[in-house]
Structure 1
Amino acid sequence: MAIDQDSGGAARLMRRKEAAKYVTDTYGFPCSPNTLAKLACVSSNGPPFRIAGRIPLYPQNGLDAWARSKIGPLVRSTSEHTRRVA
């Protein structure tokens, strides 16, 4: 466990492979290390991370916030989902 000074507390830091597995196992949607790598290079829509030398480290709380932002609201039908998106 490492100290995350931005949040003022302890945050678990994970390497990319572990971070992808954590998101998949915790939130139920597929996430691969390659996806995280691509998001880190070409997008600002990926989860936040720190760099230790050449190694990206993802804080668990950042992964949680990012994964929750990817999940839509609870709906009862696909037509209800379409209305909410539009």
Structure 2
Amino acid sequence: MGNENVPAAANDDSELPAFFRRRLLTPPHASAYLSHHLGCNVAVATLAKWRCLTSFGPPFHKVMRKVVYARDDLDAWIAARLGKAQRSTSETGDAA
């Protein structure tokens, strides 16, 4: 029988906008990428603040004077911030 309703693999880029498939993303594209994958808005200004004031944000690179984000770095940063998967909001994570 068909697998029409099975979602594409998580690493399948065919459903993403063209700029999401680039290896290096500009801050506006990185903002859109993070917003898409986190489900909440991450403003370009927030990325700029994280770069200048904190070490919380994703790693970035400078090519000459241009700031870029490697897509693999963004994916790793997202994965590092995800909490343990839970089945209920009442789970505390203390159970063995």
Gaps spanning 5+ residues in structure 1: where? Answer: 1-10
CA distance in 1, matches of 2:80, 2:60: 16
Label 1:30 to 1:68 Cα distance change in 2 as closer, same or farther (>3 A): farther
1:3-82 alignment, distance < 5 Å: 12-80=23-91
Deviation at 1:56, TM superposition (A): 0.8
- Give the structure with the larger strand fraction: 1
Q: Which amino acid aligns with 2:71?
A: Q
Gaps spanning 5+ residues in structure 2: where? Answer: 1-21
How large is the Cα RMSD of the aligned pairs? Answer: 1.8
Label 1:24 to 1:36 Cα distance change in 2 as closer, same or farther (>3 A): same
Deviation at 1:17, TM superposition (A): 0.6
TM-score (norm 1): 0.73
Higher relative contact order (CA 8 A, sep 6+): 1
Report the count of equivalent residues: 73
Rg larger in structure? 2
CA distance in 2, matches of 1:32, 1:66: 16
Identical positions, percent: 37
TM-score (norm 2): 0.66
